[in-house]
Amino acid sequence: MTDKLYKAPDSVGIVKTQYYTFAEPPDEILLDCGKKLGPITVAYETYGTLSPKKDNAILLLHALSGDAHAAGYHSANDKHPGWWDTMVGPEKAFDTSKYFVICSNFLGGCKGTTGPNCIDTSTGKEYGVTFPMVTIADMVKVQKKLLDYLGIDSLLSIAGGSMGGMQALQWVIDYPDMVRSAMVIASTSRLSPQAIAFDEVARNAIVNDPNWKNGEYYGNSVPHHGLAIARMIGHITYLSDESMHQKFGRRLQSKDTYCYDFNSEFAVESYLHYQGDKFVDRFDANSYLYLTKAMDYFDLSSKFGSLNKAFEHIKSKMLVISFSSDWLFPPYQSKEIVKALMNNDKDVSYMEIFSSYGHDAFLLETDHLTQLVKSFLNHLIEV
């Protein structure tokens, strides 16, 4: 049956990641950190058809561990669809029979876009930690270059959850005339000290893995243990206390009684080990360092003096969504965004979805999100 998944009427089907390279020296882009970077390759996918008026484009912005592959399958045998396949396709929330949907891997990532695991053309070696520090604004700048290349000078909407929501906020600030609307889901204008703390412990686990070798591990053993620990910490913060009770409780994985040894016994332990190991196979440890740092640095209040000032010049219609049990990007942070937008008399809607899924809800509460996204987009078209 698996090979038929891509044929489902609401699937975008088989898709292909495409690549665009720009900023060839001496035309490198200037980054927030003051360094220049180029050439830059961007991995991206598109779904649906750009209208003759080019007024139906929607840019999706992925989260920390996501990629350009938001929907569909890469082959007829591909068992796993894109990361937001539940939301992107014909008749789905991002209805590809109406909209032209674009998703690209962000700068510093490890899924086809230039990042620390790519070859530095000036040395012929992988960048590793010589890769310059990149910010959310740098990522957005690169996305803008991709849109220029695609000939799109106006976006009907942009949407992102978590770190993708940070990019959405950056977009409406940096390119106010280009973005008609934005959906900021389970996100924040700045991480809490608690979230920074978790990021720092995760980075610490990676750089103290002897295989990390100051980031020069390409071609050798990767810092498996460190990256797995980072991911395990991540997963705890993506779930909620309640969802962990529901999903695992104190259930033992395979026995009825305690083993009295140090093997994993509780189901929650097995889950974390599985997630940690799986992540190592698909993600680059150096990227994890850069991307968490980019999130930690993101702080609109600090950058503009206040959140009110940050939003002063935006023109986009905004939809802000949070989830009740999300303690990594808690609802109070979404409310700060909404308040600052309202203080500026901006057009903003806010919804806190009641959910036990924690931060993961932005990928799991498909029904709620579909309803909200569809309604939000329909109103845009009607206007």
Query: Closer to its own copies at the Cβ: 141 or 190?
Result: 190
Single out the residue of 260, 281, 345, 383 in contact with its own copies (rule: CB under 8 A): 260
Instruction: Tell me the two tokens of residue 204.
Output: 């610490």
Residue 86 main-chain phi, psi, to 5 deg: -65, -15
Is 235 annotated in the active site? Answer: no
Smallest distance from the beta carbon of 67 to its own copies, in angstroms? 24
Smallest distance from the beta carbon of 15 to its own copies, in angstroms? 35
Residue 203 marked ligand-binding: no
Question: Which of helix, strand or coil describes residue 197?
Answer: helix
Q: How many residues bind its own copies (CB under 8 A)?
A: 57
CA distance 71 to 78: 12
Instruction: Tell me the two tokens of residue 103.
Output: 């998703």
Single out the residue of 20, 22, 218, 266 in contact with its own copies (rule: CB under 8 A): 266
Does residue 205 bind its own copies (CB under 8 A)? Answer: yes
Does residue 98 bind its own copies (CB under 8 A)? Answer: no
Q: x/- contact string, 168-197, with its own copies (CB under 8 A)?
A: ----------------------xxxxx-xx
Question: Which of helix, strand or coil describes residue 196?
Answer: helix
Q: Which amino acid is at 118?
A: C
CA distance 253 to 343: 51
Smallest distance from the beta carbon of 337 to its own copies, in angstroms? 16
Residues 17-56 that bind its own copies (CB under 8 A): 32-34
CA distance 344 to 273: 46
Is 281 annotated in the active site? Answer: no
Residues 213-232 that bind its own copies (CB under 8 A): 225-226, 228-229, 232
Q: Counting every residue, how long is the chain? A: 383
Query: Closer to its own copies at the Cβ: 201 or 380?
Result: 201
Q: What residue spans of 53-208 are helical by DSSP H? A: 136-150, 163-174, 193-207
List C-alpha distances in Å: 120 to 123, 129, 287.
6, 11, 15
DSSP letter assigned to residue 299: B
Q: Which amino acid is at 215?
A: G
Q: Are 366 and 87 in contact (CB under 8 A)?
A: yes
Task: Kindly indicate which of the ranges 8-16, 156-164, 263-271, 361-369 contains the residues binding its own copies, using the contact rule CB under 8 A.
Answer: 263-271
Single out the residue of 29, 133, 342, 364 in contact with its own copies (rule: CB under 8 A): 133
Smallest distance from the beta carbon of 168 to its own copies, in angstroms? 21
126's CB contacts (< 8 A; 6+ apart) are 116, 117, 118, 119, 120, 216, 218
Does residue 203 bind its own copies (CB under 8 A)? Answer: yes
Query: Closer to its own copies at the Cβ: 16 or 278?
Result: 278
Residue 360 marked ligand-binding: yes
Q: Which amino acid is at 114?
A: T
Smallest distance from the beta carbon of 172 to its own copies, in angstroms? 22
Is 326 annotated in the active site? Answer: yes
Does residue 352 bind its own copies (CB under 8 A)? Answer: no
DSSP letter assigned to residue 263: S
CA distance 296 to 166: 11
Query: Closer to its own copies at the Cβ: 196 or 351?
Result: 196
Single out the residue of 47, 94, 212, 297 in contact with its own copies (rule: CB under 8 A): 297
DSSP characters for 345-360?
Answer: T--EEEEEE--SSGGG
Q: Which of 157, 162, 189, 334 is catalytic?
A: 162
Single out the residue of 4, 262, 345, 383 in contact with its own copies (rule: CB under 8 A): 262
Chain center to CA of 270: 25
Single out the residue of 204, 254, 343, 375 in contact with its own copies (rule: CB under 8 A): 204
Burial class (CB in 10 A: 0-12, 13-18, 19+), 107: buried
Residues forming the annotated binding site for substrate?
231, 360
- List, by residue number, the catalytic residues: 162, 326, 359
* Residues near its own copies (CB under 8 A): 32-34, 129, 132-133, 190-194, 196-198, 200-201, 203-205, 207-210, 225-226, 228-229, 232-233, 236, 239, 241, 244-245, 247-250, 258, 260-262, 264, 266-269, 272-273, 289, 293, 296-297, 299, 302, 327, 330
